[in-house]
Amino acid sequence: MKRLKGVIFSLRDVMVMQGPLDQDIVGQLVKLFRYLKSREVEPVLVGNSRWVFTGKKETLFSDWLSEKVGFEIKTFVKGYGGMPAKQRSEGMRFVRDACGWEEHEAIYVGSTQDDVQAASNGSLMFLNAKWHADNSPYGFEFESPIDIARFVDCCCLSMGDWFWAYEDGDLRVYAIAPLAEYSRRYPHGAGYSTAAKQAVKLDYGDLPFWGRLMAARLYFSGLAGEANHVAPYPGHSVNSKKRLLNRSLQIIGGSMRASYLEDLIVRHTDAPKSQHLRTSGRSPNHDSQLSTIHLRRDPLRTGPQGRRYKTPPLKTEKTVLVFDDICTEGYSFEAARAFVEATGARAICVAWLKTPGPNHYQKAESFWPAVDKPYQPSSAGIATTKTLSNDGGVRNARAAEELSAAVSRYTNWQWPSGL
């Protein structure tokens, strides 16, 4: 997991705009730059043209801001010092090289379509600054500079590695934190576990936080750069409603240059819920997922027109990020993997939370009969399984404590004193 080392700020409609400056925004930007510096994150400016205050003498905006914040701010402008146009792929590489940052160690704050292109071509997470203008529908939207600071603190700098992960042959599965509403082992997890379940299952609470947190985890782990497609795993019912948090998955896909396939995985028959099976004395297994889903060969294409693919987008060398809210024993993810891999593509499975305790992950090693027709219901069954212990997958034992503290700060975030 990489650490955030730099924030690249576009000049136009983020730092400056035509007309008088908004003094409240200026004050927040000054505090934001000082805050980033205090957290050992370097803020820099980029633009395709120089911005100058005119009057008795001309003053570069970058010089004026440097004096305001109390330290020199690196500024990169097209045509100066060899800087290419910011929206070219070489533009952000030039900035990273000059600052000594590796991939996934910087994020981009912008507003215009050129900024969207700069972030996309530079493989940078795009934060859409809305405080001066509403230029673009892409990226996670931020209404004020203090909201950027809150995101940096709570979603970028507060969390260590994934709480739980397995990379076992063709299996790659990850979770941010433990589901710990009633866990003695993770006492810090009760509050955020309830909030997360409400967000992902009931469309209630601070959905932007959970979407932003997932985006940050994917970006700093490098998984974002591997994906060609993003797909949510469907609810247990054929008629399950679409979750509002799927909007965050769509934004994540757009930020990663990956297409969001909202209905790639189809629930054609209701599947029993695991908790209902357990309370009735039965055990959940792979069959309840394998026999109730298939893939859609013409999933809905991301975009305002909502057109469908004419040919299946999944094929060899393509990678799909499959998202589910909570991972317990992995039956949903294993079903998704089986169908995705039957197309020749790869699946990477990601959940917000992982159920701890004795609910070990059950990896499907082989099938009989096999899943060989991914676009129609299957009679596939599990031939062999491999149990992956929960404890064996724990990477970050402090994840519950870290996330609990981040959620608490996020709700009532204020500028630290002394800025």
| Residue-wise pLDDT tens digits, 330-375 | 999 999 999 999 999 999 999 999 999 888 999 999 999 999 999 9
What is the per-residue pLDDT across 180-191, written as a single tens digit (0 to 9) for each?
988 889 998 999
DSSP 316: T
Residue 327's H or E segment, with its range, is: strand 319-327
Name the residue type at position 344.
G
The residue-averaged pLDDT of 19-25 equals 86
The per-residue DSSP string of 345-362 comes to -EEEEEEEEE--TT--EE
Supply the pTM of this predicted model: 0.94
Give the tens place of pLDDT for each residue, 156-187.
Answer: 999 999 999 999 999 999 999 999 988 889 99
The region of weakest confidence among 163-172, 233-242, 397-406 is 233-242
Which range (149-163, 262-276, 322-336, 392-406) has the least confidence? 262-276
C-alpha to C-alpha distance for 200 and 320, rounded to whole angstroms: 20
Instruction: Compute the average pLDDT of residues 1-13.
Output: 96
Domains of the chain (ranges, CATH numbers): 6-157 (3.40.50.1000), 164-402 (3.40.50)
Name the most confidently modeled range: 232-241, 253-262, 289-298.
289-298
pLDDT class of 96 with cuts at 50, 70, 90: very high
Confidence of residue 55 (pLDDT cuts 50, 70, 90): low
Alpha-carbon gap, residue 273 to 4, rounded angstroms? 39
- Give the pairing type, strands 361-367 and 75-77: unpaired
Q: Residue 142 above 90 pLDDT?
A: yes
Question: Is pLDDT above 90 for 20?
Answer: no
| CB-based burial label for 79 (10 Å; 0-12, 13-18, 19+) | exposed
Closest CA to 165 of 361, 30, 403: 361
The runs of H, that is alpha helices, within 10-79 are 23-38, 61-69
Q: What's the pLDDT score for residue 403?
A: 97
The arithmetic mean of pLDDT across residues 401-415, rounded, is: 94
- Chain mean position to CA 271: 28
CA distances from 341 to 134, 241, 314, 315, 405 (A): 41, 26, 9, 9, 38
The pair of structure tokens assigned to 27 is 């004050």
Higher pLDDT, 54 or 319: 319
Residues 6 or more apart whose CB falls under 8 angstroms from that of 162 comprise: 1, 174, 175, 176, 217, 221, 395, 396, 399
Q: Answer positive or negative: Cα dihedral of 308, 247, 92, 129.
A: positive
Percent over 90 (pLDDT), the chain: 74
